[in-house]
Structure 1
């Protein structure tokens, strides 16, 4: 799995994780987030005949957390992914926590399986 795009401020304020298997759906996501950006973010180039994309929108986050996305288990029909938010270490004292609405876009080799997500909160 490779991180291909990440931004801290988008207009999606709830947690969401989904699999994108075609260019039209990926463009649709970028049209949505680019409504509040000038200039808009470029749509990453993905070869959907070889790869699929996993989109993770974290919703409102306070402080600086990074998602760790990993495979929990895999069967013949399904891949279970787990998403854990991990605090990012900062140097010095931080008294102000920024609020952001980040998203992460990963690509991985194309599989013909259902992909499910579980979120672990600490």
Structure 2
């Protein structure tokens, strides 16, 4: 790695929002992640137009307002100092997992359950 690349890497802190954009002729796709590489928010699809660029900026501003980011660090340091193991989990993954757990059985599931208990 050269000096410029190392310099760029050292600029990434716990408060850095990293956004990658796949550029195309008409439509672009953007994703965001924090400094740890955890994905933030949903994928942003926007057109190669002034209105599309404004929707992209709105998406970024919404991500910046979300109460995630570096707030976990103080607690993590305290836990580490006290030799307490912890795991940091992406809130989006927790939400999706909860949605899967909250699904109630369908009519077909109930019939299958009844037949297996007979």
TM-score by length of structure 1 reads 0.23
Q: Which has the larger radius of gyration?
A: 2
TM-score by length of structure 2 reads 0.24
Select the structure that is richer in helix.
2
